């Protein structure tokens, strides 16, 4: 899954009559013959709420799919569909086997990135990467992408030839850091520095039905290396949590010099927190400007 938006012809979003889950509740259509009616699912990345012709899903990305009867809770097994992997081909999503509807009404749940061996629905362990600079490989997403857990649900679905549109949302928090040259900074600031986010807990438990991440209260605080998004711009995916006491939070290393900023902070679920870090000549005088929060970032 790419960090930056890629423009493509979003045919799946312009199909007339697509079943949408923007309100998470669907009307029930007239009774239909459901025998051998294939389940058709399409996935909308949070970026598509900003640009309907955008996608951050890449070829080879996998989501996990559950389908339950509408009057039954999501379980680890025994559902209509259990953690089925669907893979993005670049044009659409396919499973290893064809999935079919039956009579009745259903709830559909999805998450990204795919976890092969789940141990729990309500308390699935999940950790963000400590090194979010690592690149995607043929078999695994990069450190940033693997940390950005997405969730979608669509409830009250009746069998239909129309595809079900699963609209994903971020359930983690994101910290975006822009480095700004201070007035007294001597020389040129490098476009490529190393940025660390200190003292956050990277471990969480995930409720896959509700799409909620909870910080692991027993886990220790660690350091995350932020992803380099572009000149002077860095970001990191953080488990939602509150840092209640002032402590080292952001560190920038450039020209063999360390600039360390201490602060309290609240990382909110599904929110991107924007900060400008003003880099002075004297590392002791570093300061920060809070740029605001963005819900459902791209």
- Tens digit of each residue's pLDDT (9 = 90 or more) over 105-134: 999 999 999 999 999 999 999 999 999 999
Listed residues 170, 200, 219: the one ending a domain = 170
Task: Give domain status of residue 131, yes or no.
Answer: no
- The rounded distance, in Å, linking the Cα atoms of 238 and 272 is 10
**In total, how many domains does the chain have?**
2
**Bigger pLDDT: 235 or 31?**
235
Q: C-alpha distances in angstroms, 269 versus 89, 161, 223?
A: 29, 35, 19
pLDDT of residue 256: 87
- The rounded distance, in Å, linking the Cα atoms of 177 and 13 is 32
Q: C-alpha distances in angstroms, 34 versus 19, 42, 114, 153, 158?
A: 16, 19, 28, 22, 9
Task: Give domain status of residue 26, yes or no.
Answer: no
pLDDT of residue 32: 52
Q: Which domain holds residue 209?
A: 173-296
The stretch 260-270 carries a mean pLDDT of 95
Task: Give domain status of residue 70, yes or no.
Answer: yes
Check residue 62 and give left, alpha or beta (phi > 0: left; psi -120 to 50: alpha).
Answer: beta
C-alpha closest to that of 42 among 27, 28, 31, 52: 52
Contact 109, 73 (CB under 8 A): no
Q: Are residues 162 and 206 in the same domain?
A: no
Q: Are residues 177 and 272 in the same domain?
A: yes
Task: Give domain status of residue 197, yes or no.
Answer: yes
Question: In this predicted model, what pLDDT tens digit does every residue of 80-110 receive, in sequence order?
Answer: 999 999 999 988 899 999 999 988 999 999 9
Q: Are residues 187 and 270 in the same domain?
A: yes
Q: What is the pTM of this model?
A: 0.87
Q: Are residues 165 and 177 in the same domain?
A: no
**Bigger pLDDT: 98 or 26?**
98
| Whether residue 34 has pLDDT greater than 90 | no
- The rounded distance, in Å, linking the Cα atoms of 141 and 113 is 8
Question: In this predicted model, what pLDDT tens digit does every residue of 199-218 receive, in sequence order?
Answer: 999 999 999 999 999 999 99
Q: What is the dihedral of CA 207, 65, 75, 97, to 10 degrees?
A: -160
Q: What is the mean pLDDT of the chain?
A: 86
The stretch 140-154 carries a mean pLDDT of 95
């Amino acid at each position: 899954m790419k960090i930056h938006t890629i423009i493509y012809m979003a045919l799946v979003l312009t199909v007339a009559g697509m079943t949408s889950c923007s309100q998470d509740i669907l009307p029930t259509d007239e009774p239909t013959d459901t025998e051998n009616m294939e389940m058709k699912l399409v996935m909308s990345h949070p970026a598509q709420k900003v640009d309907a012709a955008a996608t951050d899903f890449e070829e080879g990305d996998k989501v996990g799919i559950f389908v339950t009867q509408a009057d039954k809770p999501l379980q680890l097994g025994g559902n209509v569909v259990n953690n089925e992997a669907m893979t993005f081909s670049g044009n659409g999503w396919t499973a290893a086997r064809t999935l079919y509807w039956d009579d009745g009404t259903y709830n559909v749940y999805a998450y990204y990135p795919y976890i092969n061996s789940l141990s729990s629905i309500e308390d699935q362990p999940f950790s963000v990467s400590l090194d979010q600079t690592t690149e995607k490989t043929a078999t695994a997403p990069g450190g940033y992408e693997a940390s950005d857990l997405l969730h979608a649900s669509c409830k009250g679905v009746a069998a239909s030839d129309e595809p079900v549109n699963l609209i994903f949302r971020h359930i983690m928090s994101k910290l975006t850091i822009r480095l700004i040259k201070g007035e007294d900074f001597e020389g040129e600031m490098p476009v490529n520095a190393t940025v660390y986010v200190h003292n956050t807990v990277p471990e969480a438990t995930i409720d896959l039905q509700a799409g909620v991440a909870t910080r692991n209260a027993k886990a220790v605080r660690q350091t995350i290396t932020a992803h380099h998004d572009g000149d002077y711009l860095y970001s990191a995916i953080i488990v939602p949590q509150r840092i209640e006491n002032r402590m080292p939070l952001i560190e920038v290393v450039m020209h063999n010099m360390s600039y360390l900023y201490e602060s309290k902070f609240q990382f909110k679920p599904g929110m991107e927190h924007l900060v400008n870090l003003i880099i002075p000549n004297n590392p002791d005088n570093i300061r920060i400007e809070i740029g605001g929060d963005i819900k459902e970032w791209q």
